[in-house]
A = this chain, B = another copy of it.
Amino acid sequence: MNGKQRMVEQSKQWLCDALINLMTKENFQDISITEIAQTAELSRKTFYHSFKNKEAVINYLCDQLFDQYFEQLLQQKPQVGEMMLKTTFDIFLNFWWQKRDLIQLLIRQGLFDHMNEIWQQKAIPRYQQFAAPWHVQGTPTQVNYVMAFQLGGFTNILRVWLGQDQPEPPEQIKDLMLLAAQQLADSLNTN
């Protein structure tokens, strides 16, 4: 990354930070571009040079979050076989526990689904080149749906978990998630 690009990225980051900062005090809807630019000590022109609108800032933020998550997942690459689901849960829960302040802010501002949209769009292609718990056998279509189901389940647990004012520590949620998966499995076995 050269100096020019770094300059742009820096501006984007400042605008992001400004928006997050404002969101702790004010409703997302009521925050104006002028306000964001002023807080970031940049001109409105620079805002519109960096982003299309307010939502695009959230997109950028979520993109970054997602990339961080995937980086961490690749480092601690869960091994296929036993414990894989548990390890994946662990990485998932610990990552989002670290980011809980930001996520709670997004949830309170009604922007969680915005994140979810980006998450789902980026996750599906990425997981296709990666051994995930749902990567068992099956046609590509089957894998896709199995993945969608589990990914949706994970994300929604995240929503419920961090949507609370005082979320439980990640270890407790891990047990609850295992129970959730187990109960689903049981409801199949009664047929």
Contact = CB atoms under 8 A, between A and B. Distances in A.
Interface of A: 81-86, 110, 112-114, 116-117, 120, 124, 133-134, 136, 138, 141-142, 144-146, 148-157, 159-161, 173, 176-191
Most B CB within 10 A of own CB, among A85, A133, A176: A176
A138 B188 CA distance: 18
Instruction: Say whether chain A's binding surface is mostly helix, strand, loop, or mixed.
Output: helix
Contacts of A141: 176
A188 B184 CA distance: 11
B150 A157 contact: no
Given A116-B113, A188-B178, A149 B157 contact: yes
9 contacts: A112-B117, A134-B187, A136-B183, A145-B180, A146-B183, A150-B184, A152-B156, A182-B185, A185-B188
Contact of A114 (B83, B84, B113): B113
Contacts of A138: 179, 183
A133 B113 CA distance: 25
Number of copies: 2
A191 B113 CA distance: 33
Given A156-B155, A187-B134, A190-B81, A180 B149 contact: yes
Contacts of A117: 110, 112-113
Given A82-B190, A82-B191, A184-B184, 13 more contacts: A85-B191, A113-B113, A133-B187, A136-B183, A142-B179, A145-B180, A148-B159, A150-B153, A152-B152, A152-B153, A152-B157, A153-B156, A185-B188
A29 to B, nearest CB: 8
B146 A180 contact: yes
A187 B149 contact: no
A148 B154 CA distance: 9
A97 to B, nearest CB: 15
